[in-house]
Structure 1
Amino acid sequence: TIHFLDNLMVVTQFFVFLYCKLLWRGLKFVVRKFTGRCELQRICYNNKHGARRTLKIESSLRYSKNELLQSALSVHPDKVEKTIDDVMALKKINPDTNPQLSISLQASLLQIVGYRSLVAEVEKLRREPYDSENQEHEDMLMKLWKELRPDTHLAGRISKQWCEIGFQGSDPKTDFRGMGLLGLHNLLYFAEHDKATALQMLHDSLQPKHNEINTAEWEQKNLDKAIGFSFAIVGINITDLAYSLLVSGALKTHLYNVAPEMPCLMHFQQTFCYLMQEFHRFWIEEDPSDIMEFNRVRSKFHRRILRQLKNPDMALCPHFSASDLHLVNL
């Protein structure tokens, strides 16, 4: 009897789904006949440029029955313009009487395929391990030291001094295992492009409040502002957080709102800088008792960012500028 009821429930759910699907298609047919516009036209005309429009276009193409429309989501960026012409022809839309439509569709489709390309580029960096035999890798690491400790000579490639910028041991390469070169790229971008914030965050991290590093040699002030976590390790953790937001699609809201067309690695790195600054503030607000609370605070921070990204008008850092990042509703 239980088996029969289970099967009956599955069959019922299938027919309900089928009914809803047919009803939806019928409704779209009626709306097109009534308005004289297809779904893509209605989306473009009724939504401003950005995530609201692009997310709806992405959904419409993904769930279309037409193979051309489905394949538009994975077209090469160089083929976007021709793809738009093919879509216009398929939908029997006159480009001369609808000039803005092709422009809107092209901008949104570039955002969609650009996001896919960005995920692939970020994944490639994440999978590339730090190689101490690679001079480019070593040069980036040395540059990171010079940006963060410009007045301090590094005694050697293998040195306890790396702990001063928040690595766990004498050789930073061991800390890049989880995020590969992506972690180093992000840390260096932060140090170069938002230097004032990076240096302030590093300074705060060296305060003795919750820090496991011996900082007795440092003469520190403003201990009430001390946060005491390892700067570089936090940067690699926040890289992991930014990566998870990207590959899950959660960052589409933000990137579709800040990138006029194709999102690129720079947009991802700017987002990382924003997340670093916001996590810095969040850690201070949470005032954890010790570094062992890091995972709890990070998880809470992650949930807050996810909630914010559910707003289709949200841009985390619409106009990136050093030390002046804030959430805004466009």
Structure 2
Amino acid sequence: MMLAYIWQYVYSSFLRFWLKWFLRHVTGKCELQRICAGYKQGALRTTQIEYSLKSSKNKVLQDAVKVKEDDVVGCVAQIMREKNINAQKDPTFKGNLQQCLLQISGYSTLFTTVEELRKEVFDSENEDHEKMLLKLWDLLMPSVKLDSRITKQWGDIGFQGDDPKTDFRGMGMLGLVNLVFFSENYTNAARQVLSHANHPKLGYSYAIVGINLTEMAYSLLRSGALRMHFYNSVAGKPEMHDFHQLYCYLAHEFDKFWVEEEPESIMQFNHYREKFHDKVKGYLQEPDVALILKVDTKN
């Protein structure tokens, strides 16, 4: 461990500078150019660009990892001036670097957007919130009508009490929006998952587990663990839609995982939840990871 630390210090402090200097003179290209030319579009290229920018002693390059989406084009132009990069000699560099910066800045922007929705409290006095909740019921239980807004029937889709609003406290509107997105865009898959959740032996609380998986997706995003996934699966800036798609993958795959594991009871949920979490984190370590739900949509 100590040797690894010493090597990292020596490399970052001394060897890296001279290696870059040598390669610049041999190839005629700076490190950013070599990365853009040497890696195909995706996580390996973008993470290498991110590391190069952060490690640079040039403030223009250092600040590039914090650039806003609207300033990306200007930032790339400034980097090209700083590094004396000729666009005619390297015609693909500008577009490739712009794409990388859009992915890097987009990840931070996505987290801000997700966090805002998470902090939005479900309000039963808000007509839009209520419509979304009732829409969830209609998508999952199209042939069954609710007796009333507050009813034990909510338990049929996995809520704990007679009024689901109390179950959204941890994840706010983010939890509800995720549940509705899955049910609306993958209706058949969502209903199949619900049928598994209502199994007499292997069942679990569909909505509560869904909100728990929202927390998992949120924590992975916050920690930065989803960078590789989004850099591989989204060509430019990741949007809220892409986060919802990641949630759909988790909801579908957790159900499959739960059924395959055959827990003795719902009391073992935390154990299997962590086991599934570790499995997902393992996938996210792979450089070509892209957690895409491959099932038919509602149509």
Q: TM-score, normalised by structure 2?
A: 0.94
Say if 1:270 and 1:320, in contact at 8 Å, map to a contact too. no
Matches within 5 A, 1:99-248: 99-209=91-201, 227-248=202-223
- Which residue of structure 1 lines up, in the alignment, with residue 38 of structure 2? 46
Task: Output the CA distance in 2 between the equivalents of 1:126 and 1:63.
Answer: 33
- Which residue of structure 2 lines up, in the alignment, with residue 221 of structure 1? none
Q: Residue type matched to 1:141 in 2?
A: L
Q: 1:33 aligns with which of 22, 25, 49?
A: 25
Question: Structure 1 residues 254 and 135, CA, compared in 2 at 3 Å: closer, same or farther?
Answer: same
Q: Does 1:306 align with 2:298?
A: no
Aligned length in residues: 296
Question: Structure 1 residues 16 and 245, CA, compared in 2 at 3 Å: closer, same or farther?
Answer: closer
Say if 1:258 and 1:318, in contact at 8 Å, map to a contact too. no
Q: Residue type matched to 1:21 in 2?
A: S
The percent identity for this pair of structures is: 49
Greater RCO (CA < 8 Å, at least 6 residues apart): 2
- Which residue of structure 2 lines up, in the alignment, with residue 259 of structure 1? 234
Q: Deviations over 1:217-241 (max 9, x none)?
A: xxxxxxxxxx300100110011111
- Which residue of structure 1 lines up, in the alignment, with residue 262 of structure 2? 287
Cα drift, residue 17 of structure 1: 2.7
SS at match of 2:92: helix
Say if 2:189 and 2:295, in contact at 8 Å, map to a contact too. no
Task: Output the CA distance in 2 between the equivalents of 1:14 and 1:50.
Answer: 31
Unpaired runs of 5+ residues, structure 2, are: none
Question: Structure 1 residues 118 and 282, CA, compared in 2 at 3 Å: closer, same or farther?
Answer: same
Task: Output the CA distance in 1 between the equivalents of 2:41 and 2:203.
Answer: 42
Cα drift, residue 252 of structure 1: 1.0
Q: 2:72 aligns with which of 74, 80, 87?
A: 80
After superposition, the CA RMSD in angstroms is: 1.9
Mean CA deviation greater in 162-171 or 64-73: 64-73
Say if 2:36 and 2:97, in contact at 8 Å, map to a contact too. yes
Q: Does 1:62 align with 2:54?
A: yes
Cα drift, residue 23 of structure 1: 2.0
Say if 1:130 and 1:180, in contact at 8 Å, map to a contact too. yes
